[in-house]
Amino acid sequence: MLIAGNWKMYKGPAETAEFCLGLREQELDGVEVVVCPPFVSLAVAVQLLAGTEIAVAAQNVHWEEEGPYTGEVSARMLRELGAYGAIVGHSERRQYFGDTDETVSKRVHTALEAGLFVIACIGETAEERERGKTEDVLRRQLSVLEPDDNLVLAYEPVWAIGTGKTATPEMAQEAHAFVKSRLDAPVLYGGSVKPDNAAELLAQPDVDGALVGGASLGLESFTAICRAAIPS
């Protein structure tokens, strides 16, 4: 089981240091844990989690090695910093910053080539689900990806991100099974995962972990979700 905390645009270096020092003290054997701070907080997270089994990943990565791409960060830079991997194609990147299936594919390919671990996000909007287009959307998003030992997928129904709505365990299982029928890779569930629903979601046979948003910002709630993923 893999539990990744996507901090989005929260936690500068000072808050990150406090969180990571607390996270180091937790007993989380039996679950893979990744934290994904903002770019400015990656270095302190890498430094404070060095020597632990907890990995640090970025929230995005560009497809070029260097160049005139203001505001972007390359895979080589992340590797030099000590980052383990990157999230790619999160719905907020698609919604607000123009990421497309094509750019997601380029980012994923380049990051994997550079030796980074990648969490590639896929998922449908509320409108697409209501129109019965969920599988069409997932099929299209998956068509630009290829299996890789360092690739993990995150199914995040867009209507469940930051809304408090969560796919039922049955809905998550159905989507994950479909995704795995199209691409051989572990699949995390992302979309309002909280301590009180984590165990039921993670118990589904095709759910291989969680990409946690808001609940990853608090040490207590994040570690509770991590513990829910530890095999009993």
Residues labelled catalytic: 90, 156
φ/ψ of 167, rounded to 5, equals -60, 140
Contact yes or no for 103/109 (Cβ under 8 A)? no
CA distance 86 to 75: 9
Look up residue 81 and give its two tokens: 């910093």
DSSP letters along 139-204, please? Answer: HHHHTT----TTEEEEE--GGGSSSS----HHHHHHHHHHHHHHS-S-EEE-SS--HHHHHHHHTS
